[in-house]
Structure 1
Amino acid sequence: MALGYGVVGFVALSICGLGVASLILDEDVISVPGLGPIPGILGMIVATAGFAGALWPALRRPRPSFVGALVAGLAAFLGYLAGVWSGGLLAGADPAAATAAVGRVATSWFGLVLAVAGAVAGWGAIALVRTRAHRPHWPWEGDEDE
């Protein structure tokens, strides 16, 4: 369950963060002309898979370390770059244009947004496992005296 919450949190934070960064910077996330929407979509899919794949081993431990959140953030960042590059090639762009799009994302605020979103969502999932949270319990629940 913590992995599911982490993945949903990562997707929500990254989409919101990329949108706000795009609005503030007045730039497109993928600004190379002629690529279309496929690189961004595939980038988010691969980033989400990378995030989940990196977070899953950390969550399986009895007392997971928060270092797993940093690994998940790095995996999300690298996954997005790989997805944008392969999506650019899939969209029919030449390798130079796909590489330019990856280089632009990697060296801009957009790459930082993805890495931070992955680390924050990973931290939340690991914190959920470490606290061994249960559903809320009111003092009068389970009172067998009545």
Structure 2
Amino acid sequence: MTDERGAAGGSVRPALALVFATVAFVALLIFGLGMLSLVLNADVVAAPGLGQIPGVIAVIVAMGAFAGALWAGIRSPHPSFWTALWTALAAAAGYIVGLWLGAVFTGADVGVATAAAGRIATSWFGAVVGVSGAIAGWGGVALVRTRSQRPRWPWEDEFDE
């Protein structure tokens, strides 16, 4: 009932690798921004009156940009690890654009939205978004490129004794 690919080993299918990498990206992004906010004792979005909606929209747009860039890279038969760089840049740009759109959507002045997005782009918070995208993007490419077999217990060996 197993196909040859599963029995002989092989890579993870691109669609499944995309799901795993995207979930990892969001988890790394939320963890990284939270920890950096705690260490610096600063809010991620420091503009007064914006609330949480711009940050939520920024994460959603960054996730979409990350997934789109990664999917474009891992569909090829032998994807390059350079895809991780493009996913990192797409995620960072998506976060900045999403934050700006979210701030404008919540009724902030265009100047306030631009200042909030510019602060992310030029601070450690923007670096966290990029690094999260690079790590998760590299992992997604590695899942597709790696050829391996399922783990086996010693007593499962065919050549026992």
Q: TM-score range by the shorter chain?
A: over 0.9
| Unaligned runs of at least 5 residues, structure 1 | none
Q: Equivalent residue of 1:73, what SS?
A: helix
Q: Please list, as runs of the form range in 1=range in 2, the aligned pairs for 1:1-146 lying within 5 A after superposition.
A: 1-138=16-153, 140-141=155-156, 143=158
- Percent identical pairs in the alignment equals 57
TM-score, normalising length: structure 1 = 0.93
Letter in 1 for 2:105: L
Deviation at 1:142, TM superposition (A): 8.2
- TM-superposed CA distance for 1:132, in Å, is 3.0
Structure 1 SS opposite 2:22: helix
Size of the aligned set, in residue pairs, is 145
How far did residue 141 of structure 1 move?
A: 4.2
The residue type equivalent to 1:12 in the other structure is A
**CA-to-aligned-CA distance 1:90-125 (integer Å, 9 cap, x gap):** 100010000000011010000000000000000011
2:9 maps to: none
Q: CA deviation at 1:63?
A: 1.1
Structure 2's unaligned 5+ residue stretches are: 1-15
| CA distance in structure 2 between the partners assigned to 1:51 and 1:134 by the alignment | 28
Question: Segments of 4+ in structure 1 off by > 6 A?
Answer: none
Larger radius of gyration: 2
Q: TM-score with structure 2 length normalisation?
A: 0.85
> Aligned pair in 2 of structure 1 residues 2, 41: CA closer, same or farther (>3 Å)?
same
The residue type equivalent to 2:63 in the other structure is T
